[in-house]
């Protein structure tokens, strides 16, 4: 009863008479509270003003980073065409698969089953596929780049949250390994890495466009904002190469390398009127769109990157410069007996003792002694000037990456024995392309013409090196060298006259020469009276019993010349098939 009355009394006490209100509150405390509230208010007002007025641009950018994206619109890479408009390289749509791992619910049995289907479609082992989704960066990972469109459509139909596709392009190369060293290839980012793909990257690639969009949190495009910049498509590149000539040259080269158990080989075919490269083949080769386990041996464009001592193919040049200087005529006698000559501590020899030869005979029999005696009639600078005019010791002016300059030392440093050995192709180095290009001076009536890998049907204007009469005289000697009694009768063709020079040289190993390793080649032209093409063939390290250029390289030259002239609709200049008896052909080297 007492407690109840006490509670009732407490409830009946008015608030105004509360003892708490009776105590006096210090004024400073009230002012402090009011001041704090005022400071907070002004701080918030200032912050609001900064966000909405002064720092507005910054915060807008930060917001856009979270929902706005600039999408790249890839440009379609230009095509590479042969001289007749046939495709050598083109691009096809190849979507790439990517994922946001944190958005994929791998605990869901249905999702796991779909992911297994994706791995099978992509032909990926399950453990490899799972490892891609377990990366540290859970916001993005490439699953597989550039898959075929039918596969991409099947993956899209599975509708897996967190698995997306991006439109990309993949290159296709219809001519495969036959034209691989000419065309080259691109990487997975569609950037040129070798060959024409690299040399004309800027023209082929074009320029990517862009599109500004707003995306939701799942990465889906909600709407476009701003103007779209369309892509600038890549420009097509038309080459001078004839894909049919290229394929035939590659096929015959491959057969020869295989038959002679050689290490490698190359073929160069030039148009003797326009300077266009009609074929540039190498073996071994590779498939440009299947480069797994690719080796350096396959990748090298040997016709442009490998240099070697040209050997006997330099003898016609030695004769031509002596003719031009007026030191000899085609019938000048040259005594090569007894087939051996001591010079500067070295012994220079021929395969046989040919005795007294004319200048024409020196080329026909490929006499080293005869060539060096002709060179001795020249001053070193005269020889050096001619070699330089023909492009030796200089990087070829060709629209192609990787071409090398070779080696030609300054004439002031030549010793007499070095001048002598250069007369028959030792002591300087060149690529097969440089050798073929230098022979355009004979084919084009004394003018060295510029070479090009781009289609250019107009006749080329060349730089005079020899007179037209002397060029024709050397062509007659080349015809003798490729005829019975010369070193290259197997170079003859059906219906067309040919002329050329075989060469065989020991390979350099360290500071010396290997006794059982050779390079064999044949360089020439046809038809001989009015040359239409220049062809050079090189076989590296033939090891099946034959190694002379006249036996190993000349037959390839013959087949390539005959087929190329027919494809070019060049009328035959011989009425009957020449009767050639294949004999053991020997030449000095």
- How far apart, in Å, are the Cα atoms of 51 and each of 44, 45, 66, 186, 501? 10, 10, 17, 48, 84
- How far apart, in Å, are the Cα atoms of 329 and each of 352, 354, 379, 474, 486? 24, 19, 18, 11, 20
| Separation CA 315–CA 140 (nearest Å) | 65
Q: What is the largest CA-CA distance in the chain?
A: 157
Return the structure tokens found at 270.
């030039």
Going by C-alpha positions, the residue among 1, 585, 521, 4 that lies closest to residue 265 is 521
- How far apart, in Å, are the Cα atoms of 76 and each of 81, 171, 340? 15, 10, 65
Return the structure tokens found at 253.
């080269």
Query: Helices (H), strands (E): how many in the chain?
Result: 23, 23
- How far apart, in Å, are the Cα atoms of 450 and each of 232, 293, 459? 32, 37, 10
Alpha helices in 174-242 (DSSP H): 180-183, 195-199, 201-205
> Sign of the C-alpha dihedral, residues 17, 19, 20, 23?
positive
Residue 566: how many CB atoms within 10 A of its CB? 14
- How far apart, in Å, are the Cα atoms of 121 and each of 118, 148, 228? 5, 10, 34
Catalytic residue among 312, 366, 502, 588: 312
Contacts of 297 (CB under 8 A, 6+ apart): 264, 284
Return the structure tokens found at 230.
């369309």
| Separation CA 9–CA 62 (nearest Å) | 64
> Sign of the C-alpha dihedral, residues 535, 541, 544, 550?
positive
> Sign of the C-alpha dihedral, residues 173, 177, 183, 186?
positive
Is the link from the previous residue into 527 a cis peptide, with omega within 30 of 0? yes
Going by C-alpha positions, the residue among 371, 361, 248 that lies closest to residue 310 is 371
Relative to beta strand 463-464, strand 447-448 is antiparallel
| Separation CA 441–CA 435 (nearest Å) | 11
312 in active site: yes
List, by residue number, the catalytic residues: 312
């Amino acid at each position: 009863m007492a407690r109840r009355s006490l509670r009732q009394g407490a409830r009946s006490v008015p608030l105004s008479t509360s003892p708490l209100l009776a105590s006096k509150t210090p004024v400073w405390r009230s002012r402090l509270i009011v001041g704090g509230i005022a400071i907070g208010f002004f701080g918030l007002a200032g912050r609001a003003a900064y966000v909405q007025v002064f720092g507005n641009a910054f915060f807008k950018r930060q917001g856009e980073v979270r929902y706005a994206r600039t999408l790249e619109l890839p440009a379609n890479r230009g095509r590479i065409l042969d001289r007749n408009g046939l495709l050598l390289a083109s691009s096809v749509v190849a979507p790439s698969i990517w994922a946001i791992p944190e958005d994929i619910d791998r605990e869901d049995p249905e999702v796991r089953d779909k992911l297994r289907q994706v791995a099978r479609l992509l032909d990926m082992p399950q453990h490899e596929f799972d490892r891609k989704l377990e990366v540290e960066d859970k916001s993005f990972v490439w699953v597989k780049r550039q898959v075929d469109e039918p596969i991409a459509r099947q993956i899209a139909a599975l509708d897996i949250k967190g698995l997306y596709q991006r439109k990309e392009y993949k290159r296709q190369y219809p001519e495969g390994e036959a034209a691989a060293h000419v065309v080259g290839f691109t990487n997975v980012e569609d950037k040129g890495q070798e060959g024409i793909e690299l040399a004309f990257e800027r023209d082929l690639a074009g320029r990517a466009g862009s599109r500004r969009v707003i995306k939701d949190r799942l990465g889906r495009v909600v709407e476009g904002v701003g103007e779209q910049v369309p892509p600038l498509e890549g420009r097509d590149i038309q080459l001078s190469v004839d894909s049919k000539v290229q394929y035939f040259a590659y096929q015959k080269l491959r057969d020869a390398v295989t038959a002679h158990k050689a290490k490698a080989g190359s073929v160069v075919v030039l148009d003797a009127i326009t300077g266009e490269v009609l074929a540039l083949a190498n073996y071994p080769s590779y498939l440009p769109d299947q480069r797994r386990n690719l080796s350096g041996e396959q990748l090298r464009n040997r016709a442009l990157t490998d240099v070697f001592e040209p050997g006997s193919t330099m003898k016609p040049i030695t004769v031509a410069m002596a003719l031009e200087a007026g030191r000899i005529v085609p019938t000048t006698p040259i005594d090569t007996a007894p087939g051996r000559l001591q010079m500067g501590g070295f012994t220079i020899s021929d395969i046989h003792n040919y005795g007294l030869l004319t200048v024409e005979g020196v080329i026909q029999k490929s006499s080293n002694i005869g060539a060096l005696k002709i060179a001795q009639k020249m001053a070193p600078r005269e020889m050096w000037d001619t070699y330089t005019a023909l492009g030796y010791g200089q990087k070829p002016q060709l629209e192609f990456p990787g071409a090398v300059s070779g080696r030609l030392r300054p004439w002031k440093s030549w010793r007499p024995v070095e001048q002598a050995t250069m007369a028959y192709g030792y002591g300087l180095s060149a690529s097969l392309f440089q050798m073929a290009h230098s022979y355009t001076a004979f084919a084009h009536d004394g003018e060295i013409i510029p070479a090009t890998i781009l289609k250019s049907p107009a006749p080329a204007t060349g730089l005079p090196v020899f007179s037209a009469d002397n060029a024709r005289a050397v062509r007659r000697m080349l015809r003798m060298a490729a005829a019975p009694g010369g070193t290259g009768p197997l170079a003859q063709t059906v219906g067309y006259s040919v002329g050329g020079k075989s060469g065989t040289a020991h390979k350099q190993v360290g500071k010396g020469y290997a006794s059982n390793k050779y390079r064999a080649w044949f360089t020439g032209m046809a038809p001989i009276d009015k040359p239409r093409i220049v062809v050079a063939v090189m076989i590296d390290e033939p090891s099946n019993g034959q190694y002379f250029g006249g036996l190993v390289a000349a037959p390839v030259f013959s087949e390539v010349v005959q087929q190329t002239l027919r494809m070019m609709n060049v009328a035959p200049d011989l009425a009957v098939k020449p009767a050639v008896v294949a004999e053991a052909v020997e030449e000095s080297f």
